[in-house]
Amino acid sequence: MSKIEEVKAKVEAGKSKLVPVLVQEALDEGSAPAEILQAMVDSMGVVGDKFSSGEIFVPEMLIAAKAMSKGVEVLKPLMAGDGSASLGTCVIGTVAGDLHDIGKNLVSMMIESAGFDMVDLGVDVPADTFVQAVKDNANVKLVACSGLLTTTMPALKEAVQTIKTAYPDLKVIVGGAPVTPEYATEVGADGYAPDAGSAAVKAKELVTA
């Protein structure tokens, strides 16, 4: 089993103490940081699929994400200097009236691992706060709005439309249990993601398109 395969397996298993060690060993053996990162993103993809199919649940997914973030910490200083410029800044938050942050944190971690600088506004974020954050931070290319309650769907709509009114060209991605691709289109979002893994893929797609 190659070191990279080991990294993948340990991320899937959520071994956050072992992952950084293995990442370092893979680097010492000459693996490229980008290759190791891709392997971790792939294993989070597997974890995401298992979650989607009900094979594992939120705790296992969070444990895997934590293991990955520990691996990413080892790679970050190396990635910064290899010319793989950041894809830009992504502002993320859970919309007004909604206090769910587990899913959002996971999505934030995954989008960050795809190459974005993250600005996390937390939960219960009013529409105007998203706009203010775009104003206050440099190079914002994407806003991710999360809503996990059917009762906060109107707040999600308001957030998207407020952002789009202020910044018509800015990409907005939405997600959360009650959100559907149809609803995302209806409220004017550029993208929808059913889970954290696909959010990262979608985020990259939207800003590199």
pLDDT score, position 85: 57
**Is the same domain home to 190 and 151?**
yes
Q: Are residues 148 and 166 in the same domain?
A: yes
Domain count, the chain: 2
Half-sphere exposure of 150 (CA within 13 A, CB side): 0
- Domain span holding position 37: 3-84
Averaged pLDDT score across all residues of the chain: 90
- Whether residue 161 is found in the same domain as residue 172: yes
Q: Answer with the residue of higher pLDDT: 196 or 123.
A: 123
Across 169-178, average pLDDT: 95
Read off the pLDDT band of 83 (50, 70, 90).
very low
Whole-angstrom Cα distance, residue 184 to residue 4?
A: 37
pLDDT of residue 194: 87
Same domain, 163 and 197: yes
Domain final residue, candidates 84, 106, 139: 84
Domain boundary among 59, 84, 109: 84
108 and 155 part of one domain: yes
Range list of H helices, 31-126: 33-52, 58-80, 102-113
Is pLDDT of 111 > 80?
yes
- What is the reported pLDDT for 99? 92
φ, ψ at 68 (rounded to 5°): -65, -45
The domain boundary residue, chosen from 84, 107, 137: 84
pLDDT of residue 59: 86
